[in-house]
């Protein structure tokens, strides 16, 4: 249909006249992906058939011995990278598949993995946050060295951002480095460092220029976790894991060439990384898998017809489906290169809370089984429900707390004024 | 992949919004709210002139033969404007029930009357009526369409033995009355035929329209609250800069905005004749009406809303313009309790 000039019409009756009448069937919103992607779909399906031996399921049904799990996940990751489903848009010279960005191809792949109930590979701070940052700000030699092993799961990263006195107000961080010849010497402390003991490398925000102001004196450094002077101490959380750590730096010497971007550009580089964290934490695929798992539990327990459980389940289903179609709306915006405005800012806030609420319902439905810890006799789904219930609570805080998200939505999405700075004492 | 309204649909939405803003502004809504009867006699004819009453009616019966997506667009704008009309009942449920009937000439005449906005037919689901029923628009309906197990009977409102007693409502834009039949011979009522399948489909459409209305009202409520939060000052600060206020606005946006996508998908499923509608229409209706009154649950604007309601009630001196801050910004509007309307008991 030819574009219509909105200003040409003042009355609905005119709008409803001839130009508007059209074949109703054609008016159904196009949520299809187009037959040009059928081949890709077939290709993904034959990949599943050929790689069954190491396939990693998505959702609550996968777990067991930690090192076996990790080996399997890494094996699966390598196959995904080789097939071009992980690291899909990473250039070939850095070990990726070098595909042009294509949101619909990504959607087809996601759909097929979702339908098969399989994991679309590792989602960690290295792959989801560090690599896109490095691609944008890194030097050629840094990209050559670091990207390929990271996307293949051979190089695991942790993020050295938060400090005891610097959480939401991250730019107040105090861990600092002084230049000594061609090396930085770092002293200070990071905290809430997820996966620091398993990590091979860290990307960190370090104050390298004492007099350059709050945001201007920070650099984005990468360092090996084997570097002398690093001391990692686990922090036990209620999940029963020590996934968080404190990391102490005592005269830790790092080559000055390990800066990503320019020295003093760290705030810009670091906040670029955080954008990817918000996306990583807001993905909805896992949400649908957990929702399906939750329905299974209610069925098995004979609670699916209980009015109390059904009410909670349907409230969740309304939110899950609303967010599912909201993602299609955001995808359409992306394809049309339109800004989604406030619509894009609400995803992390909603999905983290939703994941938590789904696990809460499943655990309530499990009754006594719901209190069991991972590894216990009778525990369901390797204790993943309990773990995710508690971990999701952490994600509501992590990656920009729900409160910070609400500030962002209020200020950037709704145009409400910022909190005024307190008057100097 | 193109998930969103088409350009003609956006044009339709904007035209309806413009018409409502011009002709069914908040002053008129307030007059209806303050009137004894709560009736807006002219609105049906005006909606008919604009083609809004005939969106779902065939072209050869005077309608524009569009789909649920377009009807939902109209319902959402009507909710946004708090227009005093039960669109879901008069212009979604009634025409769809009648269109599914096999009443021949009579059926065609009724549809033509609805499309023109001169015939107001109010469906009563799960008839017969025992001991009275609370029915919207009952005091000024031309006829009642009794639906039971898919079969339809039409009763002129003037039929002897129909008793109509207006009731007090919390939402003054949507009056209801108690309808009691005493000594009415239902067997003598005119049968229009009908089928359970077509009734069910009409009910799904009405559920979508109620959800769209609630969503429009919720979006307007948020809009008013945010505008007010941007100009009201306390403690020498714009109150919207307080996180206590800002966060509630953000929470409501995060809850309400995704409902738009759920609405689009559900209206699509209806238009497409997809089986999914059995799941999505009731889910949408439950979710949207859960979220829309959430505005109150969140305490977003007891204060803001109350202020607007008070302004709505306070007689203004002649010649007073819209210069008052709170008034001018929001245009005044109250989020109605439409969400609490249930179409059909469990």
Query: What is the pLDDT, as a whole number, of residue A344?
Result: 87
B283–A314: do the CB atoms touch at under 8 Å? yes
- Residue B139 within a domain: no
Domain-embedded: residue B191: no
Query: What's the rounded Cα separation, in Å, for the pair B286 and B266?
Result: 13
Domain A282-413 homologous superfamily, CATH: Butyryl-CoA Dehydrogenase, subunit A, domain 3 (1.20.140.10)
Per-residue pLDDT band for B138 (boundaries 50, 70, 90) equals very high
* Chain A residues close to B265, C-beta within 8 Å: 29, 31, 321, 325, 328
List of chain A residues whose C-beta atoms are within 8 Å of the C-beta of residue B283: 314, 317-318, 321
CATH code of the domain covering residue B295: 1.20.140.10
Using a CB-CB cut-off of 8 Å, the residues of chain A touching B230 are: 415-417
What pLDDT is attached to residue A281? 57
pLDDT at B297 over 80: no
Euclidean distance between CA atoms B30 and B312, whole angstroms: 7
Residue among B296, B151, B288 at smallest CA distance from B207: B288
Measured between beta carbons, which residues in chain B are less than 8 angstroms from residue A34?
Answer: 1
Check whether B344 has a pLDDT greater than 60.
no
Q: Does A349 touch chain B (CB under 8 A)?
A: yes
Q: What distance in Å separates the CA atoms of residue A396 and residue A352, rounded to the nearest whole number?
A: 6
B83 phi/psi in degrees, rounded to 5: -65, 140
Q: Which of B83, B231, B254 to mutate to test the interface with A (most CBs of A within 10 A)?
A: B254
B13 CB within 8 Å of a chain A CB: no
Model confidence over B30-79: pLDDT tens digits?
A: 999 999 999 999 999 999 999 999 999 999 999 999 999 999 999 999 99
Given a cut of 60, whether residue B307 has pLDDT beyond it is: no
**Is the predicted pLDDT of residue B10 greater than 60, yes or no?**
yes
pLDDT value at residue B105: 82
How high is the pLDDT of residue A2? 36
- A209: annotated active-site residue: no
In words, the CATH class of domain A157-271 is: mainly beta
pLDDT at residue B40, as a whole number: 93
For the ranges A90-94, A206-210, B205-209, B312-316, the lowest mean pLDDT is seen at B312-316
Residue A186 pLDDT: 97
| Contact yes or no for B290 and A328 at CB 8 A | no
Interchain CB contact of B64 with A (< 8 Å): yes
- Whether residue B122 has pLDDT greater than 70: yes
Strands A218-224 and A259-260, bridge-based pairing: antiparallel
Using CA atoms of A42, A48, A50, A52 in order, give the dihedral in degrees to the nearest 10: -160
pLDDT at res. A5: 42
- Distance, CA of A151 to CA of A131 (rounded, Å): 8
Measure CB to CB from residue A33 to each of B1, B64, B229 and give the nearest one.
Answer: B1
HSE toward the beta carbon, residue A414, CA cutoff 13 A: 33
Q: Are B227 and A415 in contact (CB under 8 A)?
A: no
Structural domain includes residue B2: no
- CB within 8 A of A402, min separation 6: which ones? A349, A352, A353, A396
Q: Which residues contact A29 (CB under 8 A, 6 or more apart)?
A: B2, B3, B4, B69, B264, B265, B268
The ipTM assigned to this model is 0.82
H helices present in chain B, as ranges: 7-23, 26-34, 43-50, 68-81, 87, 94-99, 104-116, 196-231, 243-272, 277-291, 294-297, 302-313, 325-330
Report the DSSP beta bridge partners of residue B233. B238
Q: What is the pLDDT along chain A (425 residues), one digit of tens a residue?
A: 333 344 444 467 776 765 455 554 446 777 777 788 899 999 999 999 999 999 998 877 788 888 888 899 999 999 999 999 998 889 999 999 999 888 888 888 888 888 888 888 887 888 888 999 999 999 999 999 999 999 999 999 999 999 999 988 899 999 999 999 999 999 999 999 988 999 999 999 999 998 888 899 999 999 999 999 999 999 988 877 777 899 999 999 999 999 999 999 999 999 887 777 655 555 566 788 889 999 999 999 999 889 999 999 999 999 999 999 998 898 888 888 888 888 888 988 998 899 999 999 999 999 999 999 888 999 999 898 998 898 888 888 877 788 989 999 999 999 999 988 877 65
For B67-105, what is the HEC assignment?
Answer: CHHHHHHHHHHHHHHCCCCCHHHHHHHHHHHHHCCCCHH
Q: How far apart are CA A411 and CA A406, in angstroms?
A: 8
| pLDDT greater than 70 at residue B244 | yes
Best mutation target, A348, A410, A411, to test chain B (most B CBs within 10 A): A410
Find out whether B93 and B123 touch, Cβ atoms under 8 Å: yes
* Packing angle, helices B243-272 and A307-335, rounded to 10: 90
Give B266-282 pLDDT, tens digit per residue: 999 999 999 999 999 99
Backbone angles phi, psi at B132, to 5 degrees: 85, 145
Q: Cis omega before residue B128 (within 30°)?
A: yes
B222-236, pLDDT tens digit by residue? 999 999 999 999 988
Q: Does the reported pTM lie above 0.90? A: no
For residue B67, give the chain A residue with the closest CA. A24
Domain positions in chain A: 36-122, 157-271, 282-413
* B4 class by beta-carbon count within 10 Å (0-12 exposed, 13-18 middle, 19+ buried): middle
Listed by number, the residues of chain A in 386-425 with a beta carbon closer than 8 Å to a beta carbon of chain B are 403, 405-407, 409-411, 413-420
pLDDT at residue B304 tops 50: no
Dihedral sign (CA B228, B229, B231, B237): positive
Confidence band, pLDDT 50/70/90 cuts, at residue B309: very low
Residue A18 contacts B, CB cutoff 8 Å: no
Nearest to A297, CA basis, from A375, A369, A389: A369
Residue B240 lies in a domain: yes
Please give the Cα distance from A171 to A385 (Å, whole number). 35
User: How far apart are alpha carbons B19 and A186 in whole angstroms?
Assistant: 66
Query: Is B324 contained in some domain?
Result: yes
Give the three-state DSSP class for A207. strand
Q: Say how far apart CA A224 and CA B100 lie, in whole Å.
A: 72
Q: Count how many domains chain B has.
A: 1
Element (H, E) at A218: strand A218-224
The least confident of A388-397, B44-53, B168-177, B287-296 is: B287-296
High-pLDDT (> 70) share of chain B, %? 84
Do the domain assignments include residue B113?
A: no
Higher pLDDT, A163 or B293: A163
> Residue B16 domain-assigned?
no
- First CA to last CA across chain A, in angstroms? 64
Of A406, A373, A412, nearest to A390 (Cα)?
A373
What are A87's two structure tokens? 């690291």
CA of A49 vs chain B CAs: smallest distance (Å): 28
Q: Which has the closest alpha carbon to A320: A358, A265, A293?
A: A358
pLDDT reported for residue A201: 97
Give the residue, B187 or B44, on which the prediction is more confident: B44
Please give the residue range of the domain that contains residue B307: 197-340
Please give the structure tokens belonging to residue A209.
């220029």
């Amino acid at each position: 249909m030819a574009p219509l000039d909105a200003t040409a019409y003042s009355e609905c009756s005119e709008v409803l006249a001839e130009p508007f009448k059209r074949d109703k069937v054609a008016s159904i919103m196009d949520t299809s992906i187009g037959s040009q992607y059928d081949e890709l779909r077939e290709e993904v399906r034959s990949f599943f058939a050929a790689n069954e031996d190491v396939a990693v399921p998505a959702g609550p049904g996968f777990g067991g011995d930690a090192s076996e799990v990790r080996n399997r996940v890494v094996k699966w990751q390598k196959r995904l990278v080789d097939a071009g489903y992980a690291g899909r848009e990473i250039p070939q010279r850095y070990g990726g598949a070098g595909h042009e960005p294509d949101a619909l191809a990504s959607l087809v792949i996601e759909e097929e993995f979702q339908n098969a109930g399989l994991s679309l590979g590792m989602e960690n701070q290295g792959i989801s946050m560090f690599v896109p940052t490095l691609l944008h700000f890194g030097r050629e030699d840094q990209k050559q060295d670091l990207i390929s092993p990271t996307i293949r799961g051979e190089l695991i990263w942790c993020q050295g951002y938060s400090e005891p006195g610097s959480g939401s107000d991250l730019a107040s961080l105090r861990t600092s480095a002084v230049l000594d010849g061609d090396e930085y010497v770092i002293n200070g402390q990071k905290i809430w460092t997820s996966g620091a003991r398993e990590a091979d490398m860290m990307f960190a925000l370090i104050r390298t220029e004492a007099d350059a102001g709050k945001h201007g004196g920070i650099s984005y450094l990468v360092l090996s976790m084997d570097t002398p002077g690093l001391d990692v101490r686990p922090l036990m959380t209620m999940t029963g894991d020590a996934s968080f750590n404190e990391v102490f730096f005592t005269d830790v010497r790092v080559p000055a060439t390990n800066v990503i971007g320019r020295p003093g550009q760290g705030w810009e580089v670091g906040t670029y990384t955080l954008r990817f964290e918000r996306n990583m934490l807001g993905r909805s695929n896992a949400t649908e898998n957990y929702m399906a798992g939750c329905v299974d539990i209610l069925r098995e327990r004979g609670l699916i017809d209980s009015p109390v459980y059904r009410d909670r389940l349907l409230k969740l289903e309304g939110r899950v489906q609303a967010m599912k179609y909201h993602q299609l709306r955001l995808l359409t915006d992306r394809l049309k290169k339109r800004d989604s405005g406030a619509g894009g800012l609400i995803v992390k806030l909603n999905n983290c809370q939703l994941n938590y609420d789904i696990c809460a319902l499943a655990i309530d439905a499990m009754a006594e089984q719901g209190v069991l810890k991972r590894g216990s006799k009778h525990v369901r789904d390797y204790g993943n429900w309990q773990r995710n219930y508690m971990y999701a609570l952490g994600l509501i805080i992590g990656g920009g707390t729900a409160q910070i998200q609400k500030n962002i939505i209020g200020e950037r999405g709704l145009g409400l004024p910022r909190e005024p700075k307190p008057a100097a004492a | 992949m193109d998930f969103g309204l088409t350009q003609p649909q956006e044009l339709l939405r904007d035209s309806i919004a413009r018409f409502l803003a011009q002709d069914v502004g908040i002053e008129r809504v307030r007059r209806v709210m303050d009137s004894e009867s709560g009736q807006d006699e002219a609105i049906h004819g005006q909606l008919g002139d604009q083609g809004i009453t005939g969106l779902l009616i065939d072209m050869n019966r005077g309608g524009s033969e569009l789909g649920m997506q377009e009807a939902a667009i109209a319902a959402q704008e009507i909710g946004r404007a708090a227009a005093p009309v039960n669109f879901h009942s008069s212009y979604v449920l009634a025409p769809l029930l009648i269109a599914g009937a096999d009443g021949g000439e009579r059926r065609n005449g009724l549809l033509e009357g609805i499309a023109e906005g001169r015939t107001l037919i109010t469906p009563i689901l799960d008839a017969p009526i025992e001991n009275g029923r609370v029915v919207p628009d009952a005091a000024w309906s031309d006829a009642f369409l009794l639906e039971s197990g898919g079969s339809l009977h039409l009763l002129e409102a003037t039929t002897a033995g129909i008793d109509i007693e207006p009731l007090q409502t919390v939402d003054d834009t949507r009056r209801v009355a108690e309808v009691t039949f005493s000594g009415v011979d239902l067997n003598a009522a005119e049968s229009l035929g009908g089928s359970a399948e077509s009734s069910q489909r009409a009910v799904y459409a009405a559920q979508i329209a109620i959800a769209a209305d609630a969503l429009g009202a919720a979006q307007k409520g948020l809009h008013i609250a945010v505008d007010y939060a941007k100009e009201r000052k306390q403690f020498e600060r714009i109150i919207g800069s307080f996180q206590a206020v800002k966060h509630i606005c953000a929470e409501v946006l995060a809850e309400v905005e995704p409902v738009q996508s759920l609405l689009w998908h559900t209206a699509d499923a209806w238009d497409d004749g997809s089986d999914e509608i059995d799941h999505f229409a009731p889910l949408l209706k439950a979710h949207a009406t859960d979220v829309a009154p959430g505005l109150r649950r969140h305490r977003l604007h007891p204060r803001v809303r109350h202020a607007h309601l008070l302004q709505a009630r306070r007689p203004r001196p002649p010649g007073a313009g819209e210069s008052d801050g709170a008034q001018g910004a929001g245009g005044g509007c109250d989020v109605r309790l439409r969400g609490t309307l249930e179409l059909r008991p469990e």
